[in-house]
Amino acid sequence: AVVSTQSTGTDSFFADLNGVANALDNVDARSYMDRRCVYYKLPLLESGTLGTKGNVQVVLPHITESYSSSQDPPEKTIPMCTLKNFPNAIEHTIQWARDQFEGLFTKTAENNHKFITEPKFLEKQKSGGALMSILEGLRKDLSTERPTDFTDCIRWARLLFEDNFHNTIAQLLYNFPSDQKTSSGALFWSGPKRCPTAIEFDANNSEHLDFIVAAANLRAFNFSIPTNRNRDFIKGHVSKVTVPPFKPRSGVKIAVTEAEAENMNNDDESDSEKASVILEELNAKMDELRSLNIQVADFEKDDDTNFHMDFITACSNARAASYRIAPANKHKTKLIAGKIIPAIATTTAVVAGLVSIEMYKMIQGLKDVEKYKNAFLNLALPFFAFSEPILAPKNKYYDVEWTLWDRYDIKGDITLQELLDIFENEHKLEISMLSQGVCMLYAFFMPADKRRERCGMKISELVELVTKKKLPAHKRALVLEICCNDSEGEDVDTPYINYSLP
């Protein structure tokens, strides 16, 4: 959302600022503001809270590192084999349900939409098992199991319930019976491994019906079919669905360890002949498919009318019942699925006070980094720690030292050749590659004719040619990334170019 409003946060907007104090709620927004502050060379007071934890970071132009210079360690993830086959806590079943939502109503719907609207969608996918999985999903959704009315969505939801909570569990117990023992003689189903029970669907069970109502309505949303909240209507139709009997199959691999799960993911093979048959089948129906209006369900936890949290709660609790795990209500499920940690006014007050102290120092114009303090706290312990802001790391080429705050400022709309000459004559550097965003403007390995053509073009014209977009009217400068060689032909790290437009 912040990036989409760049026409508001223009050069003139930031020129009126003396500094920035952040109060943001996600890493992407923090990183964006950090990049803006580095670009416009503004001091930044970055802070945040997480329950009883809080932090304050002081960012000073040309002196300290920026917010993006360091990152928190990655969050611990639940092992794949635990999620898929051996959950033992409600957090496991909620994450599994969240993944189900993402796979069924977001990612699959995206694939369906892109296949219909983007002719080269499949060419962009990796070959092998991943491509085959996408094709099989497209065939199911757009051909063999495509719904035409809400009753089709009810039938699909009923079969999904059977597959998730009966058939998959029955197969698991076929592979690993309740009295199964390991090679050491210990019971397989022991310790954190809970022996599950296959669930028999009961339309009179309100939790089972909750799943059908939410899943059917989400399916209807994906295919732009009118939704239906009438539980009696849904209950009446779901009871009429014919469910094929399930017979466990021998030879089905089930991962017991994380390593086995990884190997199974990597072992997927592509059947090119089968893929061609599916693609031919789908292409034959393309005229019909173009009339479909596929909608993607992007997860939104705070809308109580969209069935997102209803599905995740019902899906998680059905799986929890199978594994004898205590269920969670919708509120608790929302906290866990949305990774919500309630804000505490005391923590907010402490962080606001610490930010204010550092702001007074900035207003006084203090430049001595030793006068400033980063803060880390946890009121639950209680723990308070203060440290000097970390200095910006220095890089060097020849005898020139530079940090993340430095850049080359080039003014006026010049040709690419003139830019290359400036670096060769003034900085003794040969530009081997030049890019703007994700677009490559110049590279030493380009064909000679293309290099020659581009060298004669103005930089602004070249950017518009490569990006195939007109430069926005509010754009006053371009950020150009460069790769350079020194006089001995060695790669050297250099700052970026701030290219001011006329």
Query: What local confidence, expressed as pLDDT, does residue 9 receive?
Result: 67
- Quick one: average pLDDT of 248-272? 69
422's enclosing H/E stretch is: helix 416-426
Is residue 81 flagged as an active site residue? yes
Token code pair at residue 412: 């006026």
Cα–Cα–Cα angle for 270, 276, 282, rounded to 5 degrees: 120
Supply the mean pLDDT for the chain: 90
Query: What local confidence, expressed as pLDDT, does residue 64 receive?
Result: 96
Query: What local confidence, expressed as pLDDT, does residue 224 receive?
Result: 96
Query: What local confidence, expressed as pLDDT, does residue 251 receive?
Result: 77
**Per-residue pLDDT for 33 more than 70?**
yes
Residue keyed to tokens 């946890």: 378
Judged by average pLDDT, the poorest of 73-87, 98-112, 287-301, 410-424 is: 73-87
Cα–Cα–Cα angle for 358, 364, 367, rounded to 5 degrees: 80
8 Å CB contact between 40 and 14: yes
pLDDT band at 126 (very low <50, low <70, confident <90, very high): low
> Who has greater pLDDT, 14 or 54?
54
Distance between CA atoms of residues 434 and 408, nearest Å: 13
pLDDT digits 0-9 by tens, 354-396: 999 999 999 999 999 999 999 999 999 999 999 999 999 999 9
Distance between CA atoms of residues 480 and 486, nearest Å: 19
Query: What local confidence, expressed as pLDDT, does residue 476 receive?
Result: 86
Token code pair at residue 201: 């669907």
The Cα-based distances of 420 to 151, 456, 468 in angstroms read 66, 11, 23
Q: Which candidate in 81, 153, 315, 484 is catalytic?
A: 81
Biggest alpha carbon distance in the chain? 82
Distance between CA atoms of residues 188 and 181, nearest Å: 5
pLDDT band at 127 (very low <50, low <70, confident <90, very high): low
- Quick one: average pLDDT of 282-287? 90
- Quick one: average pLDDT of 318-347? 92
Distance between CA atoms of residues 203 and 236, nearest Å: 9
Determine the straight-line distance between the first and last CA of the chain, rounded to whole angstroms: 28
8 Å CB contact between 428 and 486: yes
> Who has greater pLDDT, 201 or 469?
201
Token code pair at residue 402: 């530079």
List of residues 6+ apart from 490 with CB closer than 8 A:
none
Q: What is the share, in percent, of the chain residues with pLDDT greater than 70?
A: 95
pLDDT band at 10 (very low <50, low <70, confident <90, very high): confident
8 Å CB contact between 201 and 318: no
List of residues 6+ apart from 245 with CB closer than 8 A:
none
Q: What is the share, in percent, of the chain residues with pLDDT greater than 90?
A: 73
pLDDT band at 1 (very low <50, low <70, confident <90, very high): very low
Query: What local confidence, expressed as pLDDT, does residue 149 receive?
Result: 96
Query: What local confidence, expressed as pLDDT, does residue 483 receive?
Result: 94
pLDDT band at 271 (very low <50, low <70, confident <90, very high): low
Taking each helix axis as running N to C, give the angle between helix 129-139 and helix 272-284, from 0 to 180 degrees, rounded to the nearest 10: 30
- Quick one: average pLDDT of 61-87? 86
**Per-residue pLDDT for 470 more than 50?**
yes
Token code pair at residue 287: 């005229």
8 Å CB contact between 379 and 385: no
8 Å CB contact between 337 and 98: yes
pLDDT band at 146 (very low <50, low <70, confident <90, very high): very high
8 Å CB contact between 397 and 486: yes
Using DSSP's 3-state secondary structure scheme, residue 202 falls into: coil
Token code pair at residue 5: 């409003």
pLDDT band at 129 (very low <50, low <70, confident <90, very high): low
